[in-house]
Structure formats: structure tokens, C-alpha cells
A and B are shown apart, each in its own frame.
Chain A
Amino acid sequence: MNPSPNALLAGMAIASAGLTLVLLVAKFVHRQALRVSGVRSAHYVASIGELVSRGILPTRLPSGWARDPLFHDALADYRLLLTGKERRFVDELATAAGIPPILVARTRRRFPKSARLRALGCLVDLATPAQINHLRALLADGDAHVRIHAIRGLARLNDTQSIPFMLELATRARPWEAARLADALVDMGSDGVPAIQEWINSQLQDQDPAEEVVALAARVLGLIGDPTAEATLLALLRSDRAAWKVAAASSLEQTGGTESIEALLDALDDREWRVRARAVVALGAMAEPRLGRPISALLYDPSWWVRQNAASALSSIPGGDDHLLAAVRGPDPYAADAALNQLTVAGVLAVAVDRVRSGSATARDHQLADVASSS
């Protein structure tokens, strides 16, 4: 320990004092900045509220408002809060103030990334059809966040023509981006279904299809819930790829009609357990009494998840509880376990016990109460 300590000491003391000063200044600046931006934001929010309630567009906005990011944020927030006529008024206000072109200019590459993304965040909510081409061009941007914003903007503008490009983009995207893209497609609703179907059909013909993205697109069709997608989903369910079958079975739960039932019943015999597990859930959602028997057969499936899903599906089918009761009393302990769990979780056993206690029980209630007491 023989260094010349004086210089080091002095350096440390200066660093310590300097940092203390910087911290004090930073705290002060932070406090003031929060106060100033808070006051400005509150002013914008109050002014926009006043304009919306009166429904009169101003001839011109006060100087600097149209270029202020805080004003853009306030407008975008208002737009999300409002609906109908009032939302249209906010759109008109933004267009009249020339805000979308200002935002477009700020999304150019010469701006810092944070400024670009902030402008894009507002553009997503305030864009008009005039900005569609700009948003399409941004799909090729190198930054994933920029692409996601562009996708959201295009979805809000219902630009169905860009769907094939979006799905192609998903084939190269990371899961996060692909999931956000799928969310945007769901937001487009039924308008986007034909383009998605067309893309899936082209992939079905492809020798080397984008397996994961096709499955994602199938999930999107299910989440949109448009019955016209049924044919495409059935084609996927009858394909030889497990991921497609699982996604199609999930989606048919929302969109499937009578024709789907037969295909889903066939899927109950699939050798892949994930397909059986999803198909049984979809069939449960159909709530047809005749499905009780084929579904109850899956209470004896080797897979735990399939048995649980079969028990849960039976709960939603009229008469399904009888199948569950039979399984509880049957010889297979695994089926009995799944059925007993479902009867308990669904509250069937508790209701039966209550009825027995109150003296209003049926014969079936007594059987269920026996099961409850013996478990």
C-alpha cells in the first residue's frame, strides 16, 4: 500500500462532490420537467375536451401545438377513449391541424430512434388513408418496433391489401413480432379473412410451407370467428402436420359448424395427443348431446391433458355429467380421477350435496352426494 494517495484522494473527493451536485441538479431538473410537461399535457387535455364537447373545429390552432409531441399524445389518447361521432371529430381535428404529415416526417430515418418511435406511436392512432403507402414502406424497416407500429397502423386503416406482405414478414419475424402481427390481423376482423385464407391455401400447395406462420394464421382465423373460414380450417385439420391440426382444432372451436363436427370426431383418433386434446375441447364447445359418448371415450386416453380436457368438455354438454358420474364409478382410476375433479371444480357435487341437505334431491343428486362423501 504505497501509492501517492494525495492525487487519488483529491480525485475521489472531486468525483464525490461533483456527483452529489449532478444528482441534486438532476433531481431539480426532473422535478421541473415533470411539472412543466404535466401542466402542458393538462392544458392540452382540457382544450381538446372543450373542442370535442362543442364539436366545432378551430380555424387554426395556437402556434406550436401541431408540432408538440405532447399535443399528439393527448390527441391519440383522446381518440382511444372516444367512440362514434366524437372519435371522428378527433380524427378531423388531427387532419385539419396537419398532424399526420408532421408525424410521417418524424418517422424518417434521419430522426433519432426514440423520436421516430414516439411519432409512430401517435401515427398508428391518427393516420388517414393518405398515409397508407408510408406505413407499407415501413414494413421493410430494419427496426422490429417500427414494423410493429406500421402493422398496427395498417390494421387500423383496414388495409387488407397489405395482409400477404404482413404474413410474409411473419415468416422472417421473431415470435414477439409475429404475435403482434397476429393481433393486428385479428383487429382487422372479417375484412381480412379472404386474404388470410388465400395465403394459407397457397401455403398448403407449397412444398416447403412456413409451418409456424400458417398455424398462427389459423389461430387468427379462429380469433376473428368468421364462419367463412371453416373450409380452410378443415383443410388444415385434415393435413398431416400436427401444428396445423392443433391450431385448426382450436380455431374451429370458435368458427366451426356442423361439417366441422365429423372432422373433429376423426381428430379424436389422431396419434398426436395435442391434436386429441384440442379437438375434444372444440367438440365440447359445440355442446351437442350426441357428442357425449365419443368424448367420454377420451376419459380413458393415455394422456393426462386429454383426459382433463375431455372431462371439462363433458361439463359443457347436456347430459355430460352422467358420463362423468359413470367414469367416477368405473374401474379406471385415471378416468375416475379426471371426472371427479371436473365434477368438483364445476360445483356439481356441491350443488347435489346442498340439495340432499335441503330435502329436494333427485336420485342422481343422491348418487353424486355419495360420490362426494366417499371422496
Chain B
Amino acid sequence: MTTFLSGFSALVWIYFVALQTILLLLAIGSAVALHRDRRQATFGRVEDMLTSDLAPPVSIVVPAYNESAGILESIRSMSMVSYPRFEIVVANDGSTDDTLEKLISEFEMHPVPYPVRASIPTAQVRQIYKTRLPIPLTVVDKVNGGRADALNAAINASRYPYILATDADVILDGSALAQAMRLVAEDRKRTVGVGGNIRPLNGCRMIHGHVVEAAVPESLIERYQLLEYVRAFVASRPAWSAINCLPNLSGAFGVYSRDVVVEVGGYTSGHFGEDLDMTMRVHRYLSDTNSDYRLVYSPAAVVWTEVPPTRKILRRQRIRWHRGLMTAVHDFRSSFFNPRHGTVGMLAWPMMVLFEYLAPIIEFLGWFLIPLAMVTGSVSPVTVGAFFVMALLAGSVTSLVALLLDERFGHFNDPRETLKLLTIVFVENLGIRQITVWWRIRALFGGASTKTWGDMERRGVAQLAKSA
């Protein structure tokens, strides 16, 4: 028993050191990538894209299920995106609220017998609507089939060679699409996907569908998520993108070549992590066919999204995400340390499995076994205490580095905002993170209640942000 406990304690120590080293390397890589991207974004004259007749056209595909609270604001912001050629295709996924009615009335939609190429099989499409207003909007009304199914229906009705898969509760920054498509235009033959920089909308100041001032939200739950997003999108993804092994283009903003999405069979219906599944399937398909391709990340393509404002909603989201990861780990087990799948197979996916999927199990076991090891005398109380303090400090170092990198975007310069950020940096490891670990454990071993999507209970972007 003592040997087992000592061994486990050593394993936790090795795991901790490996994780911190990887996070540090990712942060260094991200710093270099962000510097390079900043130069390109600033001097690459992305505004040239806005007036060019040669800009690749994009279909913005938006699944909507019971999005009545925020759909209008969101579609308005999408229709104001600065890009020469785009269309918006909203798939109303059998909403039981008045999402469709609101769209029809606000945007003067009328039914059309529009022929849809069923490139990807979906649940039955009831009707296609076009708008009489001068905005390129199409609404596909369909029988409920889940987010992935709605995305597929919207892709079927889209016309352009690139799709931007996004959510009905996001606010696109004015230049987000142009910034993402700049990366496509730079290397059109190889670029099959571009991910965007997702930021929490909660607490930000909005005017006429645009975020004009970012702010740190008031509640700790929202602030914790802000920190998570900064760590993921500023201190991690740029580095993965630089070595072409992004494991996931976020569901809130993912540009893909339409042909590639159709070739891999579209989004997987019923999947809890359909964005992760799609990214990995694109990697696998293109690696298996020996294609020369790249999936990249654009830090300048900023998208604002509603993050769960309460613990209850956050719990559902995290359980759903971890179940999605669990399914993906099973589905892509062949990619694990598979040299045929390049850097994704050898680096990104193993990291995802070891440090995302298994992390809650190791940490959860540690809660019980390390105190037990202390009680049985396998490790000294001083060492355990030192390890605990070190874990707290290491967590804060990672977050502080991420916030320093985030200075590139120039947000949160008000002293009060800075103080709020510093508070969450040091407080998150004293309870909030542990709660999320417990939720992820529930996702792995939970019963039927963890296997449904549940309602997001959106407040709507207009309510979440401070509209001026």
C-alpha cells in the first residue's frame, strides 16, 4: 500500500512538472506566433480584402435552437460584418420558442421553393425563407436534429466555397471575417480551415451590435471563464497553429473549405463536441489522403460569445464538453501517437488525451490518495504542503503569462479591471477549478442526466453586455 501511494505521489509530481513545462513552452511559442501575426495583421493591409473583388466568398452558417433571446442582435452584427461577399444561412433547428417568428418578422422573410443540394444527409427541411431586405440572409426551417444536424442543413443551403460555422449567440467583431479570410487568401491551396479568437461577451459595452469596450465581468464564475479563454486562445492556440496541429477550431468561429466539410460527411449528429470531432476528422482525412494542408488560427479574428453566467449552466456546459472529448478520444484512438497523422497524431492529440481528458481523473484521485499517503507516512506533510503551494503558484504563473500576452489586444487597462483580473488569477485555484474537475468526473462516470444537451437558458447578448 505504502509503495503504491509513494508511486502515485511520484506520478502526480511527474504529471504536474510535465504539464507546467508544456504550458510554458506553449506560452513561449504563442508569444512568437502572436508577434508574427500582429505584424501581418497590422501591415498586411487586411482592409484591402474589404474592397477586393477577388476576396473568396463565405457562407456564415448559424444553427439556432431556442435562441429567441439573442438571435436578432447576433444576426444584425453578422450582417454588418466588413467583408465584400458573404451570405448568412440560419438553420432553425425546430425551435420551440419564437426564434423563427422573430426572424420572419424582423427580417421580412418569405417562403421560397429554394432547391437545396442535399450534400450531407439531415433531418427533414420544412421550408426555406429568403429576406426582402437588402441583406444576404436565408433561413432554413427544419425538424429538430441537434446542433450538428442544423449546421449540416445550413451547409447544404449555402452557396459559397467557404463556410464560417458559428453560433447564434455570438457577436462577430467587424473585421473578424476579413482577418480570418486573409489567412485563406494568403495560401488558398493549402488552407482548409481557420479558427477565431473567442472572448467572453459578458460585461462588455456594446453599441448597435458592436462591442466597443471589453470589460472584466462582475461574477467570479464569468471572470474564471474569461481567464480560461485567455489562456486557451492567447497562450496556447497560436503555438499549436504555428506547427499546424490545432486540435480544435472552436464551434463559435470556424472557417472551413465547404468541399472538405462535405467530403468528410459534415458534422456528426448527436456529438457533444462536434467542433472537436470535425477538426479531428478533417486532420485525419487530409493526412490519410496525403494532402498538403493547413488548419490555422487567427488571433485577430475576434468573436464575442455569451459564457454561462451561473454555476448551474456552466456545469451543464462543462459536462457536455467533457463528454464530447470522451467520445472524440474513443473515435480518434487511431490518431494517438500515429506518425501518419503528422504533428496532430504525434503531439497535439496525445497532449489532448493526457492533459485534458485524463487531467480530472489524476487530480481527483490526488485529492484522496495524497492525503492518504501523508497519513500513512509515505510522504511528509511538509512536502505535501509545499506541493500544494507550488501548484497554486504555478497556476498563477501560467495565468499571468497569458494575461501579459493578452496585452497585445490592449483590453482591461483600467486599474479596477486589472485588480479584478489579478483577484481571479489567485482565487481560481481555491475552489472554482476544483468544482470544474468534479463536473468533468461526473461527465466521465455520470448517469443519464449527463448525456443530454440541456437548455443553455440564454439571457441574450443585449442583456449580458452593457448596451449603450
Contacts and interface: CB of A to CB of B under 8 A. Distances in A.
Interface string B395-408: 01100110110010
A6 B387 CA distance: 10
Interface string A1-21: 111011011001101100110
Contacts of A340: 113
A16 B393 contact: yes
A350 B110 CA distance: 10
Given A1-B10, A1-B387, A182-B54, A375 B393 contact: no
B191 to A, nearest CB: 10
Contacts of B331: none
Contacts of B52: 179-180, 183
B386 A5 contact: yes
Contacts of B401: 19
A216 B54 CA distance: 9
A341 B114 CA distance: 5
B113 A304 contact: no
B118 interface: no
B51 A183 contact: yes
B133 to A, nearest CB: 13
Nearest to B412: A27
A174 interface: yes
Contacts of A23: 400, 403-404, 418, 422
Given A145-B44, A175-B188, A375-B113, A8 B407 contact: no
Contacts of B40: 145
Contact of A12 (B55, B393, B404): B393
Nearest to B185: A176
A152 B48 CA distance: 10
Contacts of A175: 185-189
A345 B112 CA distance: 7
Interface stretch (A39-47, A53-61, A114-122, A291-299): A114-122
Contacts of B390: 5, 8-9, 12
A121 B45 contact: yes
Interface in A106-145: 113-114, 117-118, 120-121, 145
Given A9-B386, A19-B397, A345-B114, A27 B418 contact: yes
A34 B410 contact: yes
Contact of A24 (B117, B185, B389, B418): B418
Contacts of A180: 45, 48, 52
Contact of A1 (B13, B44, B407, B410): B13
Interface residues of B, number: 55
Interface string A86-100: 000000000000000
A337 B128 CA distance: 14
Contacts of A221: none
A121 B41 CA distance: 13
A1 to B, nearest CB: 4
A246 interface: no
B126 interface: no
Contacts of B112: 341, 344-345
A65 to B, nearest CB: 23
A371 to B, nearest CB: 10
A223 interface: yes
A9 B390 CA distance: 6
Interface string B1-44: 00000100110110000000000000000000000000110111
Contacts of A8: 386, 390
A1 B422 contact: no
Contacts of B414: 31
A13 B390 CA distance: 8
A216 B407 CA distance: 41
A337 B418 contact: no
B115 A341 contact: yes
Contact of B39 (A20, A117, A148, A219): A117
A102 interface: no
Given A15-B397, A19-B400, A341-B114, A9 B389 contact: yes
Interface in B412-438: 412-415, 418, 422, 425
Contact of B48 (A15, A120, A183, A375): A183
A22 B404 contact: yes
Which label, helix, strand, loop or mixed, suits the secondary structure of the B interface?
Answer: helix
Contacts of B115: 337-338, 341
A26 interface: yes
A114 B35 CA distance: 11
B410 A30 contact: yes
Interface string A334-375: 000110110011000010000000000000000000000001
Contacts of A26: 404, 407
A264 interface: no
B43 A15 contact: no
Nearest to B396: A16
B379 interface: yes
Contacts of B54: 179, 182-183, 216, 219
A186 interface: yes
Interface string A149-173: 1001000000000000000000000
B383 interface: yes
Contact of B407 (A30, A118, A149, A183): A30
Given A23-B404, A341-B115, A12 B130 contact: no
Contacts of B394: 12
A186 B39 contact: no
A16 B400 contact: yes
Contacts of B387: 1, 5
Contacts of A350: 110
A114 B130 contact: no
Contacts of A24: 418
Contacts of B48: 148, 180, 183
Contacts of A182: 54
B292 interface: no
A345 B130 contact: yes
Contacts of B39: 113-114, 117
Given A22-B404, A23-B403, A114-B39, A176 B113 contact: no
A176 B187 contact: yes
A117 B43 contact: yes
A27 B130 contact: no
A80 B238 CA distance: 34
B400 A30 contact: no
Given A2-B10, A175-B185, A345-B114, 12 more contacts: A1-B387, A8-B390, A9-B389, A22-B400, A24-B418, A30-B413, A114-B39, A120-B43, A121-B43, A176-B187, A179-B52, A219-B53
19 contacts: A1-B9, A2-B10, A2-B379, A5-B390, A15-B393, A16-B397, A19-B397, A22-B404, A27-B418, A30-B410, A34-B413, A114-B43, A120-B43, A174-B187, A183-B51, A183-B54, A219-B54, A304-B117, A337-B115
Interface of A: 1-3, 5-6, 8-9, 12-13, 15-16, 19-20, 22-24, 26-27, 30-31, 34, 113-114, 117-118, 120-121, 145, 148-149, 152, 174-176, 179-180, 182-183, 186, 216, 219, 223, 304, 337-338, 340-341, 344-345, 350, 375
Interface of B: 6, 9-10, 12-13, 39-40, 42-45, 48, 51-55, 110, 112-115, 117, 130, 182, 185-189, 379, 382-384, 386-387, 389-390, 393-394, 396-397, 400-401, 403-404, 407, 410, 412-415, 418, 422, 425
